[in-house]
Amino acid sequence: MDFRGFVAHATNDPDSRKVCYFLAINLAFTFVEVFTGLITNSLGLLSDAGHMFFDCSSLFISLGAAYVSTWPADESFPRGYAKVEILAVRVFFPSLFPNLTN
């Protein structure tokens, strides 16, 4: 997985670009919540910032999976990498809905 290919896919693919915009907005809100939470000594804001950070990690995993799923089939995976997106959902779904996956 090369970083340049990942960045090129994230910026050129229209759907991935939308995810990038949302990731940037979400990350900005996370930093604002951390900053405001530290200044006002608010545990609520800091815990929501932690929640939003996990949202950001889920979006980042989605971007990586969308990129890997475009790889062509090879000897190791003759059917291609399309199912990587399903595996990615399996990775980040428990972080979004931890109560449903016990």
3-class DSSP assignment, residue 102: coil
Least Å distance, CB 21 to Zn ion, is: 17
Query: Helical H runs in 41-83?
Result: 43-68
33 is a site residue for Zn ion (CB under 5 A): no
CB contact at 8 A, 80 and 72 = yes
Tokens at residue 66, please?
């969308």
Q: In this complex, which beta carbon is closest to Zn ion, that of residue 16 or of residue 30?
A: 30
Q: How far is the CB of 51 from Zn ion (least distance, A)?
A: 5
From the list 30-38, 40-48, 49-57, 84-92, the region that binds Zn ion by CB under 5 A is 49-57
What crossing angle do the helices spanning 84-96 and 43-68 adopt, rounded to 10°? 170
Is the separation of the CB atoms in 34 and 60 below 8 Å? no
Considering beta carbons, is residue 29 or 71 the nearer one to Zn ion? Answer: 29
Q: Count how many residues are written for the chain.
A: 102
Stretch that binds Zn ion, among 2-10, 26-34, 48-56, 57-65 (CB under 5 A): 48-56
Choosing from 23, 55, 59, 88, the residue that interacts with Zn ion (CB under 5 A) is 55
Summarize as ranges the residues that interact with Zn ion (CB under 5 A): 55
